[in-house]
Amino acid sequence: MSKIFVKAFLILTPFLSFSQDLEIKHLSEKINTVGSEFNFIKIDENTAYYSSSTLEKGKYQTLIFKSVRKNGEWKKGTYNHLGNSYSYSNISYPNEKNCIYYSVIDKFGNSKVAYRDYKKPEAEILNNNINLSNSTNTQPHKTTYNNKDILYFVSDRKGGFGGLDIWFCIIDKDGNYGEAINAGSRINTEYNEITPFFNIWTGELFFSSDRNEKDSGIDIYKSIGNLNLWNKVVRVDELCSDKDDLYLSFYDKYSGYFSSNRSPSIYLDEENCCNDIFSFQYPTLKEKTTIYLDTIRKHLPISLYFHNDEPNPSSLQTITNLTYKECYISYYLLKEKYIKINSNIEVEEFFEFTLKKNYNKLNSTLNYILQSLKDGNNMELHIKGYASPLYDKDYNINLSKRRISSLINMLNNFKNGALKEYLHNGSIKIVELPFGENRSDKKVSDNPKDRKNSVYSKNAMLERKIEIVEILELK
C-alpha cells in the first residue's frame, strides 16, 4: 500500500477524464486532504460517509466522517463518533437504516470488525467467527444475495491463500454470524485481496489486489458469481491507473466512488503518495445507445466485396448457404491470380487496403451492434447489393440477393451465434436493397471475352459488393 502522509503542501485542481465512455472526477479539497481519504460510501443523494487518515503525535489515526451535499458539492465531513477505539475506518452502510459495519483498531493495534445499531447504546464487536484471534479482520461489506444476508470481509487468518484474503459469512434470520468461508481460489491468491464490494445490479464482486506485482501495487478486479463460486477474474481496465486503485463502491447501477493515489491526488513532498477519493459515472442506458450508434455510424458505409459471380456462380437462386466470411476468405486467396492477370498496383492495394480493411470494419461494427442489442436496443440494418454489368440485369439482381444472403448468414454465425436470437426475435431487422448492375459505373466493361477488364480490373472489382449503408435504432 502507498504511504498516507508526507511533509509539504501542494493543491492541484480537480480533473476530468474519459476512458471507454467512463467519466472520472477528483473530489474537491473539502473532502480530499494531505492525509489519505478512502472508502467513500454514498447512502442517499445528499449523504455520504468516508474515512480519513492523518498523522497525530507520530502515530497514524483513521476516523470516519459524514459529508452532506449542498448545491451539487460534497461539503467538508464532520467527525462521526463511534466509540472509544483509537481508529475507525472501512464503513459499510447496508440498506437497512440506522446501522453500520466498520473496522476498529484498539490501542494494541488489533484490527476488528464492529457493528453499530443506533437503536442500541453501544457498538458490538463481532464474534470469533469474524474476529479470529491473532489475525487482522477488517473492511466489512454487508450485502444481500438470494434473500440471504452476507458479510464479506478481509482477513489474513490461517486457511487462506496467502496475505490478506476475502472471506464471507452468512447471517441468519436471527442475526447470528456463521462460520467464515474463504471466497475461493478464483478471487484469492498468494498476494493481497482487499476492499470487497458486491454489485447487486450486476452480480459481480469488485475488489482490489496487488497480484500483478507492478511497482505501484494495487488494481481493481471483478468477477461474476456469488459466495465462493466465481467466474474468471478480470481487471477493470477503465477504472485502473498505473498507481493504486481500491475501495470501489457503487451507489447505483452506473455510478460510485473509489480511492487512488493517481494524479491529481493531493500531496506535500512526494507526488502520488496519498489516496484521494474519486467519483466515476458510466453512461446510462440511453447514453450508451447514443454512444454505440455514433460509433457504429462512423464506420459506415461498410463495403463488402466478392469475386466474380460469387457466391454460387451460374445460379438463379436468391439465397446461399455460404457466409460472407467464407466468400471473403476465398476471394482473398485469389490475390496472386488477380495480380498475375492484371499486374497493377491498384489491384494489389485493393486486397490489402479495401477488401481486408472493410472486412475488419465489419467485425468491429458487429461487436458494437451486439453490445447495443445486449443493452436492450433494437436495430435495423439497411444493406444494398450490387453487381458488375457482366451478366444480364435479372441475373445480377438475384446475384445481389445472394450476396446479401451471405452477410445474413454471417450475422447468424457471428461469435458462435450470439446475434442469432436477436435476428429471430426481431430485435435486429434487415432491409434488403438489391440493385444488381443498375448503379454500376458505365466505364466498367461488360464484355465476357475481355476478362482482364470485366473481371480482374479494379473498376470491376469495386462493383461486386454489398454495402451496409445505414443502422437505425428502433423504438
Model pLDDT, residue 312: 94
Distance in angstroms (rounded) separating the CA atoms of residues 450 and 465: 20
End-to-end CA distance of the chain: 49
Which is nearest to 169 in space by CA: 190, 193, 152? 152
With cut-offs at 50, 70 and 90, classify the pLDDT of residue 270.
Answer: low
Q: Which homologous superfamily is 16-282 in?
A: Glycosyl hydrolase domain; family 43 (2.115.10.20)
* H/E stretch holding 401: helix 393-413
Answer yes or no: is pLDDT of 268 > 80. Answer: no
- Whether pLDDT at 20 is above 80: no
Strand partners for 111: 105
Give the residue extent of every domain in the chain.
16-282, 290-474
User: Is the model more confident about 199 or about 86?
Assistant: 199
> What local confidence, expressed as pLDDT, does residue 8 receive?
28
Residue 100 φ then ψ, to 5°: -145, 155
pLDDT tens, position by position, 209-259:
998 866 658 999 999 988 888 999 999 999 999 899 999 999 998 899 999
Tens digit of pLDDT for each residue in 399-429?
999 999 999 999 999 999 999 999 999 999 9
Handedness of CA 249, 251, 255, 257 (dihedral sign): negative
Task: Please state, as a whole number, how many other Cβ atoms lie within 10 Å of the Cβ of residue 170.
Answer: 15
Instruction: Choose the weakest-confidence range: 82-91, 127-136, 299-308.
Output: 82-91
pLDDT over threshold 60, residue 436: no
In 3D space, the residue among 55, 113, 116, 60 whose CA is nearest the CA of residue 87 turns out to be 60
Check residue 406 and give its pLDDT: 95
Count of other CB atoms within 10 angstroms of residue 135: 16
In the prediction, which pLDDT does 19 show? 45
Q: Are strands 181-182 and 245-250 parallel, antiparallel or unpaired?
A: unpaired
Which residue stretches of 231-323 are H helix?
A: 285-298
Helix (H, G, I), strand (E, B) or coil at 7: coil
Q: 168 pLDDT exceeds 60?
A: yes
Are 210 and 218 in contact by the 8 Å Cβ rule? The answer is yes
Contacts of 141 (CB under 8 A, 6+ apart): 92, 101, 151, 152, 153, 196, 197, 198
- Annotation: CATH topology of 290-474: 60s Ribosomal Protein L30; Chain: A; (3.30.1330)
Helix, strand or coil for residue 402?
Answer: helix
Widest CA span of the chain, in angstroms?
99
CA 453, CA 445: separation in Å to the nearest integer?
Answer: 6
CA distance 286 to 280: 17
Q: What local confidence, expressed as pLDDT, does residue 86 receive? A: 67
For residue 129, pLDDT beyond 60:
yes
Residue 152 forms beta bridges with which residues?
A: 141, 168
CA–centroid distance for 178 within its chain? 34
Average pLDDT taken over every residue of the chain: 85
